[in-house]
């Protein structure tokens, strides 16, 4: 396939930009070519071990908080671990591991993350809704998404796993965009957000919680970026962002297709996202 074939067909034939989401827009803003490969051509998006751990962790916590809405109590540790291990078995089968990675070690590390969150964060959370579908119109654009967790005070709580601690006092722009979207679309949302990151260290794990409020600047960003991103998607022009540190063989499963279409080379990407 040549670069010329990356031009988007008529919008009526694709519907790519009819209904947007934070993840779809963030993908487009980070790399137009990746957006087209994922959503336009719908090429297989193989996942790495970090995503497998994160999804397994989310599955365990989702089940914990879903039942907690009714019981007002967290599941016992054994129950959460059983859910995690079942989820890991499913994710492992669809994951592309690096030859140097130890699957048993990764599985154990993810289990440790689940226990860490269950012991330190979960007891203080009173969930009102789990994986809540939300939708609405932002600046004339139809938008939808899924809120991981909304507590009884209207606070949005998002859980992430990472290989290194988040920068102190800094929330990544894509997270702010996502949570500003959810705050705008979620009935009863207070505008308060907490980002919980469980971090995988060499011999231990830790929990880092960052609380912040959705600001007027955040609200302005979604009002401006949704229609601009939609216009860009409809233009049919998609280019790779080779200068981005996220443009790497580690973070993008489309790197082979990208090199074939655009030439050049995609770097090895040693740093974590």
- What's the pLDDT tens digit per position in 50-106? 999 999 999 999 999 999 999 999 999 999 999 999 999 999 999 989 899 999 999
Domains of the chain: 49-222 (3.90.320)
Instruction: Count CB atoms within 10 A of the CB of residue 74.
Output: 18
Asked if the model's pLDDT at residue 3 lies above 60, the reply is no
223 vs 267: CA distance, rounded Å = 34
Whether the CB-CB separation of 86 and 161 falls below 8 Å is answered with no
Of 20 and 96, the one with more pLDDT? 20
Q: Residue 27 is encoded by which pair of tokens? A: 């993908």
Per-residue model confidence as pLDDT tens digits over 248-268: 887 788 999 999 999 999 987
239 vs 131: CA distance, rounded Å = 33
This prediction's pTM: 0.87
What's phi and psi for 99, nearest 5 deg?
Answer: -55, -30
Percent of the chain with pLDDT over 70: 93
Q: Which helix (H) or strand (E) holds 19?
A: strand 19-20
Per-residue model confidence as pLDDT tens digits over 109-154: 999 999 999 999 999 999 999 999 999 999 999 999 999 999 999 9
Burial of 259 (0-12, 13-18, 19+ CB in 10 A): middle
Whether the CB-CB separation of 127 and 214 falls below 8 Å is answered with no
């Amino acid at each position: 396939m040549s670069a010329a074939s990356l031009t988007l067909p008529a919008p009526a034939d694709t519907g790519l930009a009819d209904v947007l989401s934070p993840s779809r827009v963030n993908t487009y803003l980070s790399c137009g070519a990746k957006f087209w490969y994922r959503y336009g051509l719908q090429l297989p998006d193989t996942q790495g071990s970090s995503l497998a751990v994160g999804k397994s962790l989310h599955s365990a916590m989702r089940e914990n908080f879903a039942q907690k809405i009714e019981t007002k109590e967290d599941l016992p540790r054994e129950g959460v671990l059983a859910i995690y291990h079942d989820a890991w078995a499913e994710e492992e089968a669809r994951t592309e591991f690096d030859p140097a990675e130890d699957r048993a070690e990764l599985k154990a590390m993810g289990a440790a993350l689940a226990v860490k969150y269950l012991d330190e964060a979960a007891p203080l959370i009173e969930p009102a809704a789990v994986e809540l579908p939300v939708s609405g119109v932002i600046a004339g654009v139809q938008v939808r998404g899924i809120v991981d967790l909304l507590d009884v005070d209207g606070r949005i709580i998002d859980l992430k796993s990472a290989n290194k601690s988040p920068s102190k006092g800094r929330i990544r722009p894509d997270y702010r965009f996502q949570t500003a979207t959810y705050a705008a679309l979620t009935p009863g949302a207070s505008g308060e957000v907490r980002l919980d990151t469980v971090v995988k260290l060499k011999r231990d794990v830790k929990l880092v919680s960052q609380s912040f409020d959705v600001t007027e600047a955040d609200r302005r960003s979604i009002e401006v970026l949704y229609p601009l991103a939609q216009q860009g998607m409809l233009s049919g022009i998609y280019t790779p962002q080779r200068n981005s540190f996220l443009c790497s063989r580690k973070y993008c499963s489309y790197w082979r297709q990208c090199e074939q279409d655009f030439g050049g080379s995609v770097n090895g990407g040693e740093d974590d996202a």
